Amino acid sequence: MHIFDLTGKTVFITGASGGIGLALVKGFVEASANVVAADLNPEPVAAAMAGNDRVLPIALDVSDGSGIGAALAQTRAHFGPVDILLNNAGVKSGERLIDGDRKKIQHTLSVNAEALLNLTRLVYEDSLKNSGGRIINIGSSISSRGAILNYQAGGADYCYSKAIVHDLTQLLAYETAPQGITVNAIAPGIIHTPMHGRPAEETEARHGGRIPLGRIGQPQDIVGAAVFLASEAAAYITGQVLHVNGGMVMSD
């Protein structure tokens, strides 16, 4: 078996109808995994993957604990237990922390960080704690780094939520290592998706100039890192944040 092959593995992807999510769904199908494609609105991913019996679209609000229980039961009945959890659902926001709208800040933290931890706990309890597996969180290259970038590309509340995701990744990696689970994050740079709410050329004009590789990213740019981290090839990698950003922010 090839080291990147995921035959027989079940991956649970949240935010599966979005720009990066849909690319991830297609990438994991290509790597031969079974894919649970969960989203607030699963219609786009269901339409894009219609007729593919290795994709199970599910309507799920990641902030809804009881909905998660039902989604995991449905997954188990359809494919068996989850082997790989890919926490990709997220919302963008633009609030300042010092004087921004408290409700908006709370919503960003609730979806991007609290719901991620809650879903991870439930999947751990449901399957991973007994069988090992992989957890991959989608963070962000801007997270807490570089105040100027924060305010040009996103709001501070968004960056705060993603900094939590990066820290959670390392803490959970430590806690779950004894169960043979690896936990890593991918930190995308500026990727052209509906999240930016503008045409690619505008995003390119806004951000392209400061990206060493000379362009903004496309959703497909994230797929290789995710399949790699889910595969046997990454068996000895845990607690890492892998930046996929064209060199926009370089790791320590």
Ligand X SMILES: NC(=O)c1ccc[n+]([C@@H]2O[C@H](COP(=O)([O-])OP(=O)(O)OC[C@H]3O[C@@H](n4cnc5c(N)ncnc54)[C@H](O)[C@@H]3O)[C@@H](O)[C@H]2O)c1
Residues that bind ligand X (CB under 6 A): 14-15, 17-21, 39-41, 60-63, 88-91, 111, 138, 140, 188, 190-191, 193-195
Residue 58, beta-bridge partner list: 38
Nearer to ligand X, 141 or 182 (CB): 141
- Residue 89 CA to residue 224 CA, distance in Å, equals 18
Residue positions annotated with a catalytic role:
158
E strand spans, the chain: 10-14, 34-39, 55-59, 84-87, 133-138, 181-188, 241-244
Least gap, CB of 188 to ligand X (angstroms): 4
Q: Of all residues in this chain, which one has the CB nearest to ligand X in the complex?
A: 18
Instruction: Using CA atoms of 195, 188, 25, 157 in order, give the dihedral in degrees to the nearest 10.
Output: -50
- Residue 143 CA to residue 166 CA, distance in Å, equals 8
3-class SS of residue 178: helix
Q: Is the dihedral of CA 87, 187, 194, 90 positive or negative?
A: positive
Position 42: which residue type?
P
Least gap, CB of 40 to ligand X (angstroms): 4
44 burial type by CB count under 10 A (0-12 exposed, 13-18 middle, 19+ buried): middle
Least gap, CB of 83 to ligand X (angstroms): 20
Nearer to ligand X, 133 or 154 (CB): 154
Nearer to ligand X, 8 or 194 (CB): 194
Least gap, CB of 42 to ligand X (angstroms): 9
Nearer to ligand X, 76 or 206 (CB): 206
